[in-house]
């Protein structure tokens, strides 16, 4: 019998700022565990970060080579919209946001969510759409280069997706990433994928923003459709809704002056690490997973329903979110998330 430890491949994918903090925190935990453990199984890990742009990581650094940035210096949104308009006629499916296009300076000034950044939610939709091939290439390349024999029949990679369905980057990119993983599943034996996604109710602690509800409504509609089209015999994603209002979300680390600054305790991070450490070859894996699931924090469905219901009641006849909400529905969240109560 070989004395070499078994290796378990773990692909972490973080989306947006909140997902990035979760991803880096989990990465640091994995590194420490690998250094401390005498276990027969070692974790072979890699983090891929999808974010709006560099410099937004609040002291949670990742090698730029492991990042997909949606927005780069020198990009002009007007030019991107103009190029996209030429491609629209060749698209098989046209979504409502595609018909919005660029707007005039006065419209930009009036836009409620463009007053600070100058970038609308619909511009994020365009940036994610244009980045799909780049995200696919990065994930494919990572699976090939970071995980030896990742596409061998006896190898399996644990995929963990971390993000938020309230922020723009996470909510808009998650359905695209889920679709891309589904297309990679057969080649790389990505049988299971666990996603941990913040609820909009978490961010009420920081500030109230109706756009967070819009992000959630649109993304959950898309996710429900994707899940209904997924062949679970090939790829079986499991989604968790995060309600934890810990200090991690609001933390900003001074990486240069305090490189070893401790990350606040996060029950979510600890529980994800325990999930990753489950031995996939264990005979009682299902029982161990169910025991783990019982300990994972439940999300308050009523709190979420009240938040979404209040927004819909107030905005029933509003034109503020006309394009954003077109085609979006209030779905049954129990059909999507596994940890609701």
The pLDDT of residue 248: 78
Other CB atoms closer than 10 Å to residue 274's CB: what's the count?
A: 13
**What is the pLDDT, as a whole number, of residue 126?**
95
For residue range 309-338, list pLDDT tens digits in order: 999 998 878 877 888 888 898 899 999 999
What beta strand segments (E) does 62-170 contain? 67-69, 157-164
* CATH code, residues 6-335: 3.40.50
Range with top average pLDDT, 98-107, 135-144, 148-157: 135-144
- β-bridge mates for residue 88, sequence order: none
Kindly report, residue by residue over 158-199, the tens digit of the pLDDT.
999 999 999 999 999 999 999 999 999 999 888 789 999 999
Q: What is the pLDDT of residues 96-139, one digit of tens each?
A: 889 888 876 656 555 555 445 668 888 999 999 999 999 999 99
Nearest to 111 by CA among 328, 332, 339, 320: 320
Task: Please write the tens of the pLDDT for every residue from 198-233.
Answer: 999 998 776 667 889 999 999 999 999 999 999 988
- Secondary structure (H, E, C), 124-149: HHHHHHHHHHHHHHHHHHHHHHHCCC
Phi/psi for 117 (5° steps) reads -95, -25
Residue 90 has pLDDT above 90, yes or no: no
Q: Are 195 and 43 in contact (CB under 8 A)?
A: no
Between 141 and 42, residue with greater pLDDT = 141
| Confidence band for 23, pLDDT divided at 50, 70 and 90 | very high
Q: What pLDDT, on the 0 to 100 scale, is given for residue 259?
A: 58
Question: Could you tell me if residue 189 is left (phi over 0), alpha (psi between -120 and 50 degrees) or otherwise beta?
Answer: left
**43: confidence class by pLDDT, cuts 50, 70, 90:** confident
**Cα dihedral 107→110→113→116 (10° resolution):** 100
Phi-psi region of 16 (alpha: psi -120 to 50; beta: other; left: phi over 0): left
Q: Report how far residue 23's alpha carbon sits from residue 46's, in angstroms, rounded to the nearest whole number.
A: 10
Average pLDDT over residues 33-38: 68
Per-residue model confidence (pLDDT) at position 153: 53
Percent of the chain with pLDDT over 70: 84
Q: Say how far apart CA 84 and CA 80 lie, in whole Å.
A: 6
CB 339 within 8 A of CB 296: yes
Judged against a pLDDT cut of 70, whether residue 1 lies above it is answered with no
Q: pLDDT by residue (tens digit) across 253-274?
A: 665 666 566 777 889 999 999 9
Percent above pLDDT 90 for the chain: 46
Per-residue model confidence as pLDDT tens digits over 283-304: 788 899 999 999 999 999 999 9
Rounded CA separation 247/307 (Å): 22
Q: Are 251 and 231 in contact (CB under 8 A)?
A: no
Looking at residue 257, what is its pLDDT? 60
Banded model confidence at residue 93, pLDDT cuts 50, 70, 90: confident
Q: How far apart are CA 117 and CA 158, in angstroms?
A: 36
Q: Which of 3-7, 41-45, 265-269 has the highest mean pLDDT?
A: 265-269
Rounded to whole angstroms, the maximal C-alpha distance in the chain is: 72
**Tokens standing for residue 55:** 């410099």
Cα–Cα distance for residue pair 272/226, rounded to 1 Å: 24
Residue with the bigger pLDDT between 178 and 35: it is 178
Query: Would you state the pLDDT for residue 111?
Result: 58
State the Cα–Cα distance between residues 53 and 73, nearest whole angstrom: 9
Q: How far is CA 255 from CA 51, 207, 216, in A?
A: 19, 26, 32
Pairing of the two strands 192-198 and 236-242? parallel
Tracing tokens 């459709």 back to the chain, one arrives at 225
Q: What is the pLDDT of residue 92?
A: 83
14 - beta bridge partners? 49, 162
């Amino acid at each position: 019998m070989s004395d070499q430890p078994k290796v378990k491949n773990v692909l972490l994918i973080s989306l947006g700022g909140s997902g990035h903090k979760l991803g880096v925190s989990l990465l640091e935990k994995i590194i420490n565990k690998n250094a401390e453990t005498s276990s027969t199984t070692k974790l072979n890990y890699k983090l891929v970060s999808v974010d709006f742009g560099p410099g937004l990581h609040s002291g949670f650094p990742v090698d730029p080579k492991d990042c997909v940035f949606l927005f780069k210096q020198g990009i002009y949104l007007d030019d991107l919209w103009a190029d996209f308009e030429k491609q629209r006629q060749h698209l098989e499916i046209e979504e409502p946001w595609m018909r919005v296009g660029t707007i005039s300076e006065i419209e930009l000034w009036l836009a409620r969510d463009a007053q600070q950044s100058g970038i609308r939610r619909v511009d994020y939709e365009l940036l994610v759409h244009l980045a799909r091939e780049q995200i696919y290439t990065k994930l494919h390349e990572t699976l090939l280069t970071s995980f030896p024999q990742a596409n061998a029949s006896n190898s399996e990679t644990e995929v963990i997706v971390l993000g938020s369905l309230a922020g723009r980057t996470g909510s808009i990119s998650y359905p695209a990433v889920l679709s891309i993983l589904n297309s990679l599943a057969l080649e790389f034996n990505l049988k299971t994928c666990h996603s941990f996604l913040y609820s909009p109710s978490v961010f009420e602690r920081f500030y109230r923003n109706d756009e967070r509800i819009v992000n959630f409504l649109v993304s959950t509609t898309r996710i429900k459709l994707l899940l209904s089209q997924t062949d679970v015999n090939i790829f079986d994603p499991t989604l968790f809704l995060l309600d934890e209002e810990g200090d991690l979300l609001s933390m900003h680390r001074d990486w240069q002056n305090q490189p070893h600054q401790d990350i606040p305790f996060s029950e979510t991070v600890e529980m994800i690490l325990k999930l990753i450490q489950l031995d996939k070859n264990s005979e009682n894996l299902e029982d161990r997973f169910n025991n783990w699931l019982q300990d994972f924090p439940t999300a308050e469905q009523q709190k979420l329903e009240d938040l979404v219901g209040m927004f819909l009641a107030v905005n029933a006849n509003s034109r503020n979110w006309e394009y954003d909400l077109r085609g979006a529905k209030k779905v049954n969240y129990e059909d999507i998330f596994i940890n609701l109560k």
